[in-house]
Every structure is written in structure tokens, then in C-alpha cells.
Structure 1
């Protein structure tokens, strides 16, 4: 159990996720230093001090410790290595060694990983942990490695996505027919249509203005982004729909294993697994504290709602896309947990 100091730091750090600027990194790819250490370059999209950053820095610390300094990890926050799609391309070519990715960021390369983003499939963090411990994802992970030359070391994430609306809302019935911002995903569009919403694709950087101007009446995200982007100002009616527990993958390039060799590779794998546990704990704590504090803002209402009717409508959509992606057995195993 982490002490109060770490809990407080994790929460404050999560609020710092406002910095999402993108730029290209010039110092990419692992290299040897004059002390003969192998330096790995690892990136993420968020600001310094956020749970992503804390987790990746813990990975760096563990790698250096377990390899007695023979391998070091240089962490590049704030999208210094590009957005997640660009960073993933860097993993494939070996110009980036490691990074943190959302399933949607690599769906173009391996669609079945989007199984982890299906609304209401994963009920809570305990269910998430059961999935990670069960081996259900092994075949998907191996498929990603075989097709892309990258590997999932462990999983970060753990925030829970909620909905927020411009007009008053106290139940799921209240939001039926409202224009709702979605990411560009056929599966997500169909899911939100089944909930009775009217999905509209809006770029993330245009969302605040879209809410303020009435282009859309609602959207969904994690508490850290509702807070840091001040979405609660334009859409102060927050419903705790808890429709997605986030999975964020810590991934590494197969070309990096070639550089590390047989002796160092298992040590870096071990560091990745331990960093994942640490990062999930940090993010879970931060998310809970932020959700609890959102209602402190003037004019903001936070309402827990019964979403069982929505969840019941998701199952045919899960089955449709799981069959389309070739992961029907994995879906069945998750449902049986």
C-alpha cells in the first residue's frame, strides 16, 4: 500500500496531463554511451509527473537496477517522439525502443487488440486484473509480435472512463438522442448508437469548442482529462457510467531485444512487468481521487447511474466484432471470468 505522500503526488501529477503537445524527438533509438551502457529511448504522450510518466520512470529505474547499469532508459514525455501512431511506427523500425500505447493507437496494425476497449466488457479494475493474470490475451499478444515486430511487456492504465453532458442529466434515459462525441471507430459508433446516443466523430483537440458551441451535447473520457482539459466547464453534468476500464500497453521493439541479447533481455522483461504493477496502482489511486473531487467545482454535478440496460445491449456488438477480429474465444473467456 502506497503512503499518503505518494497518493497525493499521484493525484496532483494526474491533473498535470494537460500537456499533450506533439513534437519530433531527435534523440531516438537505443545507443551505447561512453561508459558502454546501452541506452533505450522510451516515450509517452502525457506530461511529466503523470501516472504514465511515473510508470515509465519506474521502468527505467528497475532496468538500471536489474542490469547493474548496463542498460539505461531515457524517458521522453509530452509526445516528444510523436503521437502514439508515429511512436508505434518507430517501434517497428527500431528508431524507438519502448512506449505506452492505447489499444486504438495500434488497431490499424492489429484490430483485435480493440477487444480491450469494448464498452462494459471489463466491469472494474478487479476484472481487469483477472484478465491480465489469466493468460487470455496471450494469443493476441503473440499475434502482435508476429505481425508487427513489437511486444507487449506489461499493462499500464486503469482509469475508468465516464460521460459528461452540457445539459442536466441524472440517468441514462435523460441522455437518449443527444449528440455524442466518439472516436473514429466503427465498433464504438455502433456501441453508442445502441445506448441511444447520436455518435458524432470530433477530433479530440476540437472537443471543448464543440461542447461549448453545441456541435455535440456530450462526450466521454477519464477523470484526468475531464479535469485537465476543463471539460466540466462546458459540460458540467457528469455521469459515472464507468463504461471502460483502460488498458495501456507498455511495448518494446523486437529490434531492441536484438541489441540486448540473451542475458539482458529477461531482466528488462522483468522490469517491465514490475513497472506495470506500479503504474496501474498509481493510476488507479489518482483516478479515484480525481473522480471524488470533480464535484467540488462550481456548478458541476456528479451522478452515479444504473447502466445495466446499456450493458445488456452491448453483448451482440461484442460478439459481432470479436468474430470479425477472430477473438471469439478470448471474448468468451473474459465473459466467463
Structure 2
């Protein structure tokens, strides 16, 4: 078992293309071709996490948060980040981080929150843009059916609950090959006209490499004409945060007590009580103040997240109950999600849930 076998499977759940531009995800320390002795799954990678990995014979740490977030100019052990990296390298331990790639996965962090809270009929709170691209190419009429099939097999043409989606225009293509050409149809040095089909398909950016590979392998022409454009379309199944419904509406105070117990937190900071039932609930793991307006527009009765500042609570404006359950607390079940996911695939391999709490915040 190589590290790349583990990470390739992780990226089926949380493709790196899903991550936000500011983030640093993927293999941060180590080599993809290293043989894996065991995998330790954690929320954060600290020095004690490295010690735990050593004690449990795990040479790959799968962490939610990236230990390297911004650039490192020195590695001399003056900060906890540098000490972690040095200890990992010294002990041949690789570190892989999922972070916002998993945040934006429909089966990711917020989905786990929904599961724990018991929300039903869930959907993405903020669908992500710039993940949908469009491929347009031109092919002889006789080969069009074959190429469409191959592009669909490579991951193109999926729209929500539909697949094999394409748009096709019949027309004529012209070309003339030079003396170094080897045209499939026509003769070099002569202008050739061919009945062609213009095929357009959309696809997720994560599938671009496989789709282009399929296009080049199955298109009959020596030189393949195509174009790819990025779209502004949002993806209804990819994005950050989720919204769903409680099975039974709850009083606000009962809901807050329920949150405190269910999310295993010592403190729930909340906005003014509105004296109404809580049924529709939005959630977002980690720092979620940026999505308050999205939760309001979605007509959520409550929004559960973390790291709200003083002035963020004013944004409730007597229309929604804001509940800050703590950063660690909102993401704490993520490592369970990752262990369960990896164990399904690698059932006979050591996938270990870290026993250490990496929460840096304490309550008195």
C-alpha cells in the first residue's frame, strides 16, 4: 500500500480542486510512493500527534487542518509548526491535509454535523462556483457517437440527476494539412471539407485531465481542435455549509441545550432568543461568520457554526438564532468521518483514530 493509494481514495471524497484558493491541501510532507505502515487520522497535527503516530507505527497522518498554511522561510524549530515539520521529517512521517476540500464536499464536514444533529432533507448552503467547465470539440459525423460515449465514461456530461448530457450541432469543417501532416481524411496540401458534429459537454474541473486524455486517445484527427472554458455556474452538490430540517420543531432553549449535549461542547454562545420554534437549521464547520447572510436568505431558523465576533451577533437582526458552538467542537467529528470512509476501502489495514484532543481552547 502506497501513500498515493490512500490519498487517491481520499480525493474521491474531497478532490483537491474543491479547496479554496487561500488553502493549502494535499500531501504537505512526504512522498506519494512511500509504503504505508499505518494511518493516523486527526483534526490537527501537533508534536504530540507525531509522537502518537510513532507509538502506533503510523507513517502517514491524515489531518483535517494543514500544519503548513502559509509559506515557511525557515525550519529551525522556533515555532510549533516548524517543530512538527522537523519531527515528522526526522521520523519519516508523511502529513496529508484535506481542510476546505472536505469542507466543500457534500459528504464532508457540514454533512457530518447534519448527521450528528439529526437534520433531514439537507442541501448545500453556499454552492461553489468555478468548478464547472465546458468542452467543445469537432469530429466527423461517423465518429460522433463513439466520442460522446468515451467523454461520458471519462466524467463529462453530468448535470445534477442527469448524465450523458451534451449539445450537438451538425456543420462542415475545413482544413488543409502541410507537407508534414498525416490527415486521417483528405490529402495533404489540399483543402478538405468534412461533415462534422460540434459536441459540447460540461464537466467538473477535477475530471479535466481524464477527459482530455480520452479526447486525444479517441478522436480520429491527427490534430484535435477543441476549447475549454470556465463557467460561472454553481454546483448544487459542491459547496460549503449545509441546511436541513429537524425531524420535530424544537423550542429555542431546548434546541440550544440539545446542541450543547449533542455537539459535546462546554459553551454555546448565541444571539437574542426570538421565541419561535426551530425547524430549519443551517450549519457550517469552523469559522462561519461569513455565511450568516446566506443562512438568513435560506430562511433558516437557526445557524450553527463557530468563531462569531461580537458584532457578528448583531447580524441576526431578530430574524435568526445564531449559535456559536466553538471551532473545534463544530469540526470534532470530522476525524470519525475520515476513519469510517477509509476503513470501508481499506478494511484490513491499520486506520487509527487519534485519541488526542487538539483543542487549544479550555473553559472554566
Greater strand proportion: 2
Q: Same fold (TM over 0.5)?
A: no
Report 1 or 2 for greater relative contact order, CA contacts < 8 Å, sequence distance ≥ 6. Answer: 1
Q: TM-score range by the shorter chain?
A: under 0.3
Which structure: greater helix fraction? Answer: 1
